[in-house]
């Protein structure tokens, strides 16, 4: 038996039986969330027991939806480093900034956590194949976990999706399709073809287990910060699984008495696609579809996130904020982070570095605030930014030595 009591609708509260395959609320169509018997979890595991377990997201087994004895479909996801960004912090006039380096996951992004968990559960509950709309990384992750358990997968991505993510899905044997438009267009096609194929629809937050995989980022963070919570957490927001999942982790740990305190959650989006930022500042209860979404941070190109309402509630309840940054600020921040810390993060993660500078300028964070940025993916999965072409060395030894000295400048 797992520690799950039931699966609950986040809007109407209707209870669903976790022993059946689940999608969205059968009563109102909204997003579902897994609930645990936290008193039983607390009795079954303590912080010391946890210390002796191997790394990776299944070390928090009691707070995952896995049944007793259920084997996860895994490639070793989770257990990513929380890196102190000392030089970046000094540059910004801050003292405590950490980056959670999710690029270290299999597939090079945190999508591995969510899709690993969702595919594990769906396979156990009888799925025969998977269909997913994606802006890139989710499709790649779905394809590799489907391959890992020998099930077929179809991935639908917008044209112009970063080629590495498309290749990742294709080399794992997935059927990859492109469409004109955004992930919203892809999502409509998936909704139409999934029942046709009889395959499980893995769309963001339209089944409850991907959230539980993303939640493990929050569990790890609390443990890595020695069972404290950060004051501020910046999250690059597309569909919002992490923005909903991380506070869920903190809430569960708080209810278990393992952590105290509160975190301000900050959603960061691109100026060319910022439905959450707009709704937050308009005081709206949910997001409105963003017309003509454009940004090179592919994971942020989500014009109508299904969990808009839930994200806005989290941002407001936590005293957080929502900030949009320009394409140029993203590119500059990506370079700054690489130069100052040696981390080539994805454009989505870089957006946080740009947003943190904005927050510091506006006086929204004090110098000694403890701040975490979620570096959700590896830069290497995206088309490289424009950088100087390497100088080609040719000619005599003397000419080569002189050329190197000229460039290096000593
Ligand atoms: C998908 C993705 C995001 C957005 O994540 P959500 O949890 O869907 O909001 C951010 N960064 C990267 C690298 C992604 O792949
Ligand atoms: Zn409901």
Question: CATH no. for residue 360?
Answer: 3.40.50.1100
Tokens 């579902």, residue? 32
Q: Has residue 179 been placed in a domain?
A: no
Q: Has residue 59 been placed in a domain?
A: no
Task: Tell me the whole-structure pTM to 2 decimals.
Answer: 0.96
Q: Has residue 212 been placed in a domain?
A: no
Of the pLDDT bands very low, low, confident and very high (cuts 50, 70, 90), residue 304 is very high
Q: Has residue 403 been placed in a domain?
A: no
Distance 26 CA to ligand 2 centre (A): 7
Q: Is the CB of 237 under 6 A from ligand 1?
A: yes
| Pair of tokens at residue 124 | 């156990």
Q: Are strands 232-236 and 321-325 parallel, antiparallel or unpaired?
A: unpaired
Distance 33 CA to ligand 2 centre (A): 11
Neighbours of ion ligand 2 (CB under 5 A): 9, 12, 14, 25, 27-28, 30
pLDDT value at position 174? 98
Q: Are strands 96-101 and 82-84 parallel, antiparallel or unpaired?
A: antiparallel
Q: Has residue 165 been placed in a domain?
A: no
pLDDT at 357 over 90: yes
Of the pLDDT bands very low, low, confident and very high (cuts 50, 70, 90), residue 410 is confident
For all residues of the chain together, what is the average pLDDT?
97
What is the DSSP code (8-state) at residue 392?
P
Ligand with an atom nearest the CA of residue 8? 2
Q: Are strands 200-201 and 130-133 parallel, antiparallel or unpaired?
A: parallel
Q: Is the CB of 236 under 6 A from ligand 1?
A: yes
Task: Give the chain's domain count.
Answer: 1
pLDDT at 250 over 90: yes
Q: Is the CB of 139 under 6 A from ligand 1?
A: no
Distance CA 83, CA 100 (A): 6
Of the pLDDT bands very low, low, confident and very high (cuts 50, 70, 90), residue 26 is very high
pLDDT at 189 over 90: yes
Question: What b/e readout covers 309-334, taking b as 16+ CB neighbours within 10 angstroms?
Answer: bbbbbbbeebebbbbbbebebbbbbb
Q: Has residue 356 been placed in a domain?
A: yes
pLDDT value at position 1? 72
Q: Has residue 398 been placed in a domain?
A: no
Distance CA 223, CA 270 (A): 30
pLDDT tens digits, 109-149: 999 999 999 999 999 999 999 999 999 999 999 999 999 99
Distance 257 CA to ligand 1 centre (A): 30
Going by C-alpha positions, the residue among 183, 241, 243 that lies closest to residue 210 is 241
Going by C-alpha positions, the residue among 181, 118, 57 that lies closest to residue 130 is 118
Distance 220 CA to ligand 2 centre (A): 30
H/E stretch holding 90: helix 86-92
Distance 236 CA to ligand 1 centre (A): 6
Going by C-alpha positions, the residue among 369, 335, 365 that lies closest to residue 349 is 335
Q: First and final CA of the chain: distance in angstroms?
A: 66
Of the pLDDT bands very low, low, confident and very high (cuts 50, 70, 90), residue 396 is very high
pLDDT value at position 330? 98
Q: Has residue 158 been placed in a domain?
A: no
CB atoms within 10 A of CB 299: 30
Q: Are strands 175-179 and 153-158 parallel, antiparallel or unpaired?
A: parallel
Q: Is the CB of 137 under 6 A from ligand 1?
A: yes
Ligand with an atom nearest the CA of residue 245? 1
Q: Is the CB of 381 under 6 A from ligand 1?
A: no
Of the pLDDT bands very low, low, confident and very high (cuts 50, 70, 90), residue 150 is very high
Of the pLDDT bands very low, low, confident and very high (cuts 50, 70, 90), residue 51 is very high
What is the DSSP code (8-state) at residue 3?
S
Q: Which domain holds residue 323?
A: 82-108+220-381
pLDDT value at position 305? 96
Distance CA 358, CA 130 (A): 40
Distance 401 CA to ligand 1 centre (A): 45
Percent of residues, the chain, with pLDDT higher than 90 = 97
Ordered DSSP codes for 5-60:
EEEEETTT--EE-TTS---S-TTT---EEEEE-HHHHHHH--HHHHHTS-SSGGGG
């Amino acid at each position: 038996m797992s520690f799950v009591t039931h699966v609950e609708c986040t809007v109407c509260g209707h209870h669903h039986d976790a022993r059946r395959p689940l999608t969205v609320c059968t009563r109102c169509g909204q997003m579902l969330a897994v609930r645990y018997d936290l008193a039983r979890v607390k009795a079954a595991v303590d912080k010391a027991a946890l210390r002796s377990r191997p790394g990776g997201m299944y070390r928090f087994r009691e707070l995952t939806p896995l049944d007793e004895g259920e084997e996860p479909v895994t490639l070793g996801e989770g257990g990513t480093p929380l890196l102190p960004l000392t030089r970046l912090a000094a540059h910004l006039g801050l003292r405590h900034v950490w980056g959670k380096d999710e690029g270290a996951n299999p597939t090079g992004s945190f999508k591995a956590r969510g899709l690993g968990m969702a595919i594990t559960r769906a396979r156990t509950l009888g799925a025969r194949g998977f269909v997913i709309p994606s802006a890139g990384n989710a499709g790649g992750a779905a394809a590799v976990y489907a391959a890992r358990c020998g099930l077929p997968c179809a991935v639908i991505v917008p044209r112009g999706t970063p080629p590495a993510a498309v290749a990742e899905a294709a080399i794992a044997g997935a059927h990859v399709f492109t469409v004109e438009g955004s992930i919203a267009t892809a999502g409509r096609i998936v909704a139409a073809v999934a029942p046709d194929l009889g395959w499980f629809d893995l769309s963001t937050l339209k089944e409850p287990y991907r959230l539980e995989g993303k939640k493990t980022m929050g569990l790890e963070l609390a443990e890595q910060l020695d069972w404290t919570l950060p004051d501020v957490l910046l999250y690059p927001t597309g569909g919002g699984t992490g923005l909903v999942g991380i506070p869920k982790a903190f809430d569960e740990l708080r209810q278990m008495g393992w952590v105290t305190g509160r975190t301000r959650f900050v959603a960061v989006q691109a100026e060319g696609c910022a439905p959450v930022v707009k709704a937050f500042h308009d005081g709206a209860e949910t997001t409105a579809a963003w017309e003509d979404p454009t940004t090179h941070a592919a994971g942020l190109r989500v014009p109508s996130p299904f969990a808009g309402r839930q994200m806005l509630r989290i941002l407001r309840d936590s005293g957080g904020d929502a900030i949009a940054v320009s394409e140029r600020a993203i590119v500059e921040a990506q370079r700054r982070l690489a130069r100052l810390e040696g981390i080539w993060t994805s454009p989505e993660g870089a957006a946080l570095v740009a947003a943190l500078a904005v927050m510091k300028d506006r006086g929204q964070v004090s110098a000694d605030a403890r701040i975490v940025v979620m570096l959700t993916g590896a830069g290497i999965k995206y088309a490289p930014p424009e950088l100087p072409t390497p100088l080609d060395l040719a000619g005599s030894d003397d000419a080569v030595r002189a050329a190197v000295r000229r460039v290096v400048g000593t």
